[in-house]
């Protein structure tokens, strides 16, 4: 479904899946293709919005937990799009993709990496995305920020009234708190997490940050 302008939202569809976002452009960008088991349904939903796999040029991930990236390889084959990782994601690939999946007793959703995001921004046609490191839930967590739209793709760093877990390989509560504090200073109208619903409106988003700081990290 369309959120605003060229920004589309595809909600998670079941266990070990995540929210997928598409930024339409020439070419477009997909954020977190999700679980490979749900890819057909996801591509159908995109088709309803007039988006075809071939319209997407780049696949990026907020982090590499299996529920966010196990469809990377299949979507690559379907679309011809390239996977671009941030250096910290490549560095932690084994820990997060392989060890993380085995912890769930699952085969890792491995994929081939096509390029590295060497700068803190990604440009694709008219689209310009800022990249913000936000470790804690996982050491490879990054957020994507569309400054003009005031939209933050925050992955599993935080959700509506909660944060991501910190008990998976490389998780760290201190880092998560620091990351959330830093994100709370951004001007955000659309908070777009990796699970559950989106949070819209600056006031509601500020309240969400305040609630998390007061209730999720009272011991830090
Ligand atoms: Zn995760």
- pLDDT tens, residue by residue, 43-98: 999 999 999 999 999 999 999 999 999 999 999 999 999 999 999 999 999 999 99
47/56 Cα distance (integer angstroms): 12
Centre of ligand 1 to C-alpha 69, Å, is 10
Spacing, Cα 138 to ligand 1 middle (Å): 7
Question: What's the pTM value of the predicted model, to 2 decimals?
Answer: 0.96
What is the whole-number distance in angstroms between the Cα of residue 52 and the centre of ligand 1?
Answer: 27
The residues placing their C-beta within 5 Å of ligand 1, an ion, are 65, 156
Q: How far is the CA of 147 from the centre of ligand 1 (A)?
A: 24
CA of 165 to the centre of ligand 1 (A): 8
Q: For residue 174, how far is its CA from the centre of ligand 1 (angstroms)?
A: 17
Q: Which domains does the chain have, with CATH numbers?
A: 2-215 (3.60.15.10)
CA of 39 to the centre of ligand 1 (A): 18
Decide if pLDDT at 219 tops 80. no
Question: What pLDDT shows up at residue 111?
Answer: 96
**How many angstroms does the Cα of residue 65 sit away from the middle of ligand 1?**
5
Say what percent of the chain tops pLDDT 70: 99
Ligand 1 mean position, distance from CA 166 (Å): 9
Q: From the CA of 194, how far away is ligand 1's center (Å)?
A: 8
List strand residue ranges (DSSP E) for the chain, in order.
Answer: 2-4, 7-10, 20-23, 28-31, 56-60, 82-85, 115-116, 121-124, 127-133, 142-146, 151-155, 158-159, 162-163, 190-193, 199-200
Distances (CA, A) of 90 to 50, 93, 147: 32, 5, 26
Burial tier of 99 (Cβ tally within 10 Å: 0-12, 13-18, 19+):
middle
- Find the 140 Cα to ligand 1 centroid distance in Å: 10
Confidence class for position 217, pLDDT limits 50, 70, 90: confident
Q: How far apart are the CA of 156 and the centre of ligand 1, in A?
A: 5
pLDDT number for residue 216: 85
pLDDT band at 107 (very low <50, low <70, confident <90, very high): confident
Complete DSSP assignment for 111-142: ----EE--SSEEEETTEEEEEEE--SSSTT-E
Residue 156: which pLDDT band, with cuts at 50, 70 and 90?
A: very high
**Which pLDDT belongs to residue 220?**
62
Query: CA separation (Å) from 102 to 93, 95, 106, 110, 168?
Result: 13, 10, 5, 12, 11
Q: Give me ligand 1 centre to Cα 12, in Å.
A: 13
Residue 15 has a pLDDT of 84
């Amino acid at each position: 479904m369309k959120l605003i302008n060229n920004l589309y939202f595809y909600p998670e569809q079941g266990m070990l899946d995540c929210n997928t976002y598409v930024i339409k452009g020439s070419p477009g960008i997909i954020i977190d293709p999700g679980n490979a088991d749900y890819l057909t349904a996801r591509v159908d939903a995109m088709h309803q919005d007039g988006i075809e796999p071939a319209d997407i040029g780049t696949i990026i991930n907020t982090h590499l937990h299996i529920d966010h990236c196990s469809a990377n390889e299949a979507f690559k084959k379907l679309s011809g799009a390239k996977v671009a990782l941030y250096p910290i994601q490549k560095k932690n690939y084994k820990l997060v993709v392989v060890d993380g999946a085995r912890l769930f007793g699952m085969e890792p959703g491995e994929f081939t990496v096509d390029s590295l995001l060497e700068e803190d921004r990604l440009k694709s046609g008219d689209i310009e995305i800022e990249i913000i490191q936000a470790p804690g839930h996982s050491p490879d967590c990054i957020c994507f920020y569309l400054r003009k739209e005031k939209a933050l793709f925050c992955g599993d760093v935080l959700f509506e009234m909660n944060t991501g877990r910190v008990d998976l390989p490389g998780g760290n509560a201190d880092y998560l708190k620091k990351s959330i504090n830093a994100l709370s200073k951004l001007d955000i109208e659309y908070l777009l997490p990796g699970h559950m619903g989106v949070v819209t409106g600056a006031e509601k988003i500020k309240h969400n940050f305040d609630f998390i700081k007061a209730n999720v990290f009272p011991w830090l």
